[in-house]
Structure 1
């Protein structure tokens, strides 16, 4: 047995009644019945749209009491969510709401109807966002974040490369490690479309970030806000999770550099590794970056200058210098002779592409940079420098820029030697300076400033390159890794 009705769309809906209800009078606003497993009377109430509610216990064993209870439901226009064993009604649901639920359960919804429902819920502040099945945001948040910082899987990284802003492998690896270490406890098992600004702000209260420096916390935030911003702008999530997040303000530490007197004393001292010593001399005399010195090959050493054509990173190998522009630097004969003498010890040969600072393990790689700061600080300790840890290999670049700018007084000329491209206005000015005149000025300045360093170093007929580094490794001494300088 069944009855039919038309819903608001004019569609005919057929409702089949259980066998136990077929003898009920269909003109009543409710259906009353008992089950085999309960002493109480149950009811189904007819709703305004013709559908019926689900089975609800009246909590009454007497039929007359049960009918009275159901009539109260009908008069009030709501039924209890459930009834306790003592007959007390707990919670309530209106007939209108039950009709809405019945409609949602039994009818196919159009795309527009689904979107309208979501918009109403959002407008009522009931939900912040909804992730629809098979939508772009219906993906695991951690999987998306890891893929975002994986070069061969990330549309963002490919887009950046096409725009000339390629991220380094080291930076990508750091971002991936941050996601796994700091964000996994907060975002695991969440969908991308579920993440809100409140989820991002939880990082400020996380125990893992409490002892981090502001600079590191900023990197932790950017590891997730950059992917979420890209996802929002590309329609993968409705949530703006990046605006309004205040990044920590980090004040860079003031760079400490050696005085010229301290530098002369340092290079007059005995070092445990003369290859590192020579690399530091080149950095001091030219202001070259560590990666640029490691990348030096025999073909880069001219009659009176160094051609800075590459930089080396353990993560990318040989690549273009920072800012993508090659440059050259005039050097005195003494320094050139020391560089070529170092190259002559290369066990892999002395061809044009042979590295000056070669690796004992491979002809395709230069010396590992991990030990540079270690040997530098040992030498600083030997001359009684009070705080060797405040000096790094990169400090020589700062020293060169400071002293050369003070001596020449023209930042445009100094930038030709250092390769800095931080100010577009200086780029335009530098383009109008004759390069050879600028190189001559720089050569005069560096010879005036740093020639005392070279005098004793080049006084011997043979510049001996010793390598205590191999001895330490053979003796089982564990060398701690150092951060590679920029």
Structure 2
């Protein structure tokens, strides 16, 4: 095949370069010459140095022009699927030539707010259905929390954008804006908010709704989070020596302190789960999912000290719905009491511990601020249990009780040691809790 062909249009000569791969000619380009020999000389210069570009850019290689012609010919002649176009768009996006590619009549044309709302709607979410189809857990509480974060943070920021228009730079800009506008949120919370959108975008890419993954290479926030506050053994003893207005609140907090159970696992306890020496932990409870499996999906047994065991059995006998109901019963037969009650009661009693019941409103306000700054919440009891027991037993044995799946996670809970703990290494775990739990607990 000839390297180029000349033809005249008006007074100027034009050249068409031949494409040896396709046998086709490129679109004619004028060397701006009226004399044939001079036009030929210019064209040979193109073949050697490339096409001249406007704006001072470097000459474009002839091979690049031929490759482009091949690509364009392929696109024009081929019956491309949406997946093929997505892959082409992904390459263009990765090279920084386009910010996004939205396929006509494809998933990427859907508004991002509509897609994200549907993605985190438990009843219609394709993501949730996919998880369940593969035997993976996806609780209603988690999905509802994700939906709420999507509505509060992601949807307002990207309002008016289509799914396929969300670029990597858009997501990076959002992550910076999120942190800047919410200085009170810790990095752990910020990461959870980011996961709401990035999970949906990754799923859209994997399922060919968009041509590129806009979350690729996105940096997460530092995982250095504020440590959960933990009471000292002396503070815990003085706390439970106080008079608690609601006995259920005191026993729920004592159960958490002496067993390391999560609040959902405590609320799910029924009378039949209280053995002579162990609690059977087979379920967890949440407002949306109701009774469900434990966080790890595995049952376990947890030692319980006799004093607390007897107090819980007495609480079961007080259940107005009968002894087969929840240990921590409520006015509704099929529901335990609300988990917030245990936390609210703990916060109230911590204030009493600091300033007493007759303190002024200002003193109580300062006490609440003090405990908030120490970051003591109901879940702190799980840290308390892990840290006290970590001084006495090897981690592997404690993890059988707490239900931690990895040593790394457990270490995060157990890292609350005190200098005085070194003098308590020889003390058995039962003695540790017997010294804290009130002796007159039953009655």
Per the normalisation by structure 2, the TM-score is 0.68
Q: Which residue of 1 aligns with 2:163?
A: 192
In structure 1, runs of 5+ residues without a counterpart are 1-28, 30-74, 76-107, 427-443, 463-486
2:186–2:225 Cα contact (<8 Å) kept: no
| Cα distance change on mapping 1:287 and 1:130 into 2, 3 Å | closer
Q: 1:166 to 1:291 in 2, by over 3 A?
A: same
* Structure with the bigger percentage of helix: 2
- Looking at CA atoms only, which structure, 1 or 2, has the larger radius of gyration? 1
String of CA shifts for 1:29-70, please: whole Å, max 9, x gaps: 9xxxxxxxxxxxxxxxxxxxxxxxxxxxxxxxxxxxxxxxxx
Corresponding residue to 1:372 among 342, 348, 368: 342
Aligned to 1:161: 132
- Offset at residue 422 of structure 1 (A): 1.5
Give distance in 1, aligned partners of 2:101 and 2:306: 70
For structure 2, the 5+ residue unaligned runs are: 1-9, 11-33, 35-75, 356-366, 411-426
Give the CA deviation at 1:228. 0.9
Higher RCO, 1 or 2 (CA under 8 Å, sep at least 6)?
2
Which residue of the other structure, out of 396, 399, 407, is the alignment partner of 2:384? Answer: 399
Provide, for residues 113-154 of structure 1, a one-character-per-residue CA deviation record: whole Å limited to 9, x for no partner.
9989x9699599664343232223222221111111122322
- Structure 1 counterpart of 2:400: 416
Could you say which residue in structure 2 is the equivalent of 1:467? none
SS at match of 2:285: strand
Matching residue of 2:437: 454
Deviation at 1:455, TM superposition (A): 4.7
Number of the residue aligned with 1:142: 113
Task: Report how many residues are paired.
Answer: 336
Alignment of 1:130 with 2:101, yes or no, is yes
- For residues 403 and 318 of structure 1, what CA distance do their matches in structure 2 show? 30
Distance (whole Å) between structure 1 residues aligned to residue 92 and residue 435 of structure 2: 73
In the TM superposition, 1:52-451 aligns within 5 A as 111=79, 122=92, 127-203=98-174, 204-205=176-177, 208-209=181-182, 211-351=184-324, 354-360=325-331, 362-384=332-354, 387-389=370-372, 390-408=375-393, 410-423=394-407, 445-451=428-434
Distance 2:236 2:205 in 1: 52
CA drift of 1:391 comes to: 1.7
Q: 1:111 and 1:192, CA in 2 relative to 1: closer, same or farther beyond 3 A?
A: farther
Could you tell me whether the CA contact under 8 Å between 2:186 and 2:226 is conserved in 1?
no
Residues in 2 aligned to 1:210 and 1:384: alpha-carbon distance in whole angstroms: 29
- Checking the alignment, whether the CA contact within 8 Å between 2:101 and 2:210 is kept in structure 1 is no
Query: 1:294·1:357 contact (CA, 8 Å) conserved in 2?
Result: yes
Once the 2 structures are TM-superposed, how far is the Cα of residue 279 of structure 1 from its aligned partner? 1.0
Shift of 1:457: 2.8
Cα distance in structure 1, aligned partners of 2:88 and 2:301: 62
**Secondary structure in 2 matching 1:383:** helix
Q: Is the 8 A contact 1:285 1:446 kept in 2?
A: no
Kept in 1: contact 2:268–2:326 (CA 8 A)? yes
- SS of alignment partner, residue 404 of structure 1: helix
Secondary structure of 2:211's partner? coil
- Matches of 1:199 and 1:257, distance apart in 2: 40
Rounded Cα–Cα distance in structure 2 between residues aligned with 1:281 and 1:149: 36
Give the Cα–Cα distance (whole angstroms) in 2 for the partners of residues 216 and 424 of structure 1: 20
Give me the TM-score of the superposition, normalised by structure 1: 0.62
Q: Distance in 1 between matches of 2:189 and 2:289?
A: 23
Question: CA 1:184/1:208 → structure 2, altered by over 3 Å: closer, same or farther?
Answer: farther
Structure 2 SS opposite 1:318: strand
